[in-house]
């Protein structure tokens, strides 16, 4: 009797742990290590710009060469747009590392990506599209403050009167007023155009500094925005390890009033942090990064997101980092149109790559790898599945399963050798008729080694 009881408890535990894994949404990107999230809402889509921690760390330090972009219309499935800019986008410096926290903003149909190059200050890139390509419009750094090692983490906001502000800084906070061209700034204010924000306890809380003298909680990673006539400055606080705190102000230039922590340090968070906040389709979302995907490696971080609600007075309650993240999709995915394979809610074992012809696709597919797509609307029913694949190996097959990698098998499609890893071919197969909205999982099966590349899929 006791043995049966303990067996039952064990089975329940297995089911609970399994369900936690299957319902996991954080971190939202699993194919690469991403950090410093900078979400931008544009034309009904969230574009998420991130820095990129390489899989292999050099000299046990941040190893970061480029900036990535992802997008979502439902906040649960994220489409990979690949590298949108890199250190190679600038020809005037010799840095081989240091592509740190970016932010992108749209102005008059152009997209401006503000990026710090560690040790080279803050620069700007411009594009006609939110997904690039971005190019250097001025051929030099934008911010020329004389303390380039502290010029990191730019955050930018266009106020209601059309004035654009660019804030940045570690360990202090500075701002400039950008001109209408977005690639220069008004040099008639402050010190040659740069205004130093007073770092007081009233504005940013109090904390003893490393030198033992009184200081503020502000550390780095500012995120500046306005909501309901109140200006917010969100920032990494309290030194290492970093929390997230915030201050508010009645104007874009202050005075700032410290409001407290938004997110406290948790075991799976990295020793650094960087946040971004947006309102999207009637909901509020808080982005941050952790080290859950790398299982504790602070130089290999991953972006996560939580949904939250403001208090009636505009203050923000303490937000708890979770594994579940955003649990509810705010839109359904249409599988009757081509769905990019790199549109993913959760994946295991996969990478993405790209070329000028195919753009981004899923690669490094091996036996047992899979990807989940959430809230797929099959309408009145779908009976077949089609995919674009390429392979120079014996390949394998794609299993279409309901909900998760162990879910009901809806169909299976064989993938053969197409002649090369970039020689794309369409493969089709029948699937069990399915109606309504479901999560689906595409499971990849085959022999040893890489099986095939995967570009898009759709049902009929």
What positions carry a catalytic annotation? 36, 202
User: Which residues have a Cβ under 8 Å from the Cβ of 172 and sit 6 or more positions away?
Assistant: 150, 196, 197, 199, 218
CA distance linking residue 231 with residue 234, whole number of Å: 10
Confirm if 97 and 58 have CB atoms less than 8 A apart. yes
Residue 21: DSSP 8-state: H
Q: How far apart are CA 204 and CA 216, in angstroms?
A: 6
Q: Report how far residue 285's alpha carbon sits from residue 276's, in angstroms, rounded to the nearest whole number.
A: 8
CB 80 within 8 A of CB 312: no
Question: Residue 114's closest CA among 188, 33, 175?
Answer: 175
User: How many CB atoms are located within 10 Å of the residue 386 CB?
Assistant: 15
- Cβ of 312: how many Cβ atoms within 10 Å? 6
Q: Is residue 303 left, alpha or beta, with left meaning phi > 0 and alpha meaning psi from -120 to 50?
A: beta
Q: Which residues pair with 437 in a beta bridge?
A: 377
Pseudo-torsion of CA 95, 100, 105, 111, nearest 10°? 30
Alpha helices in 135-285 (DSSP H): 201-204
Report residue 33 as tokens. 């290590």
Helices (H), 168-267: 201-204
Nearest C-alpha neighbor of 112 from the set 80, 83, 137: 137
Burial of 119 per CB tally in 10 Å (0-12, 13-18, 19+): middle
Bridge-based pairing of strands 218-227 and 230-237 is antiparallel
Which of 130, 35, 135, 26 lies closest to 81 in space, CA to CA? 130
- Token reading at 17: 């742990």
């Amino acid at each position: 009797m006791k043995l049966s009881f303990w067996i039952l408890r064990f089975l329940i535990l297995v089911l609970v742990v399994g369900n936690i894994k299957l319902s996991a949404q954080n971190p939202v990107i699993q194919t690469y290590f991403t950090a410093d999230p900078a979400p931008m809402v544009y034309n009904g889509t969230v574009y998420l710009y991130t820095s990129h921690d390489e899989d292999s760390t050099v000299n046990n330090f941040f190893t970061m060469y480029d900036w990535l972009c992802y997008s979502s219309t439902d906040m649960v499935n994220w489409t990979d747009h690949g590298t949108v800019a890199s250190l190679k986008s600038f020809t005037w410096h010799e840095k081989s590392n240091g592509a740190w926290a970016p932010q992108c903003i749209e102005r008059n149909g152009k997209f401006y990506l503000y990026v710090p190059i560690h040790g080279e200050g803050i620069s700007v890139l411009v594009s006609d599209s939110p997904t690039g390509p971005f190019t250097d419009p001025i051929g030099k750094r934008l911010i020329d403050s004389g303390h380039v090692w502290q010029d990191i983490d730019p955050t930018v906001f266009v106020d209601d009167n059309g004035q654009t502000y660019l804030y940045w800084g570690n360990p202090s906070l500075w701002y400039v007023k950008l001109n209408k061209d977005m690639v220069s700034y008004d040099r008639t204010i402050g010190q040659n155009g740069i205004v130093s924000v007073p770092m007081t306890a009233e504005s940013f809380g109090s904390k003893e500094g490393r030198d033992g003298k009184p200081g503020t909680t502000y550390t780095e990673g500012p995120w500046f925005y306005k909501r309901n006539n109140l200006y917010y400055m969100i920032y990494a606080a309290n030194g290492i390890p970093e929390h997230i705190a915030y201050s508010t102000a009645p104007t874009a230039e202050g005075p700032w009033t410290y409001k407290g922590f938004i997110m406290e340090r948790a075991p799976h968070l990295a020793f650094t942090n960087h946040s971004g906040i947006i309102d999207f389709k009637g909901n509020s979302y808080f982005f941050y990064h952790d080290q859950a995907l790398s299982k504790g490696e602070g130089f290999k971080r991953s972006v996560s997101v939580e949904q939250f609600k403001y208090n009636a007075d505009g203050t923000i309650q303490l937000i708890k980092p979770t594994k579940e993240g955003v649990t509810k999709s705010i839109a359904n995915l249409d599988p009757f149109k081509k769905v990019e394979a790199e549109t993913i809610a959760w994946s295991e074992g996969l990478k993405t790559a790209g070329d000028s012809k195919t753009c981004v696709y899923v690669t490094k597919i091996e036996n047992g790898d899979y990807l989940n797509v959430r809230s797929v609307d099959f309408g009145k029913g779908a009976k077949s599945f089609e995919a674009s694949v390429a392979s120079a190996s014996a390949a394998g097959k794609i299993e279409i399963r309901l909900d998760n990698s162990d879910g009901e098998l809806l169909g299976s499609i064989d993938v053969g050798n197409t002649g090369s890893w970039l020689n794309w071919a369409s493969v089709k197969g029948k699937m069990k008729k399915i109606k309504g909205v479901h999560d689906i999982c595409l499971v990849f099966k085959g022999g040893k080694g890489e099986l095939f590349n995967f570009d898009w899929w759709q049902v009929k």
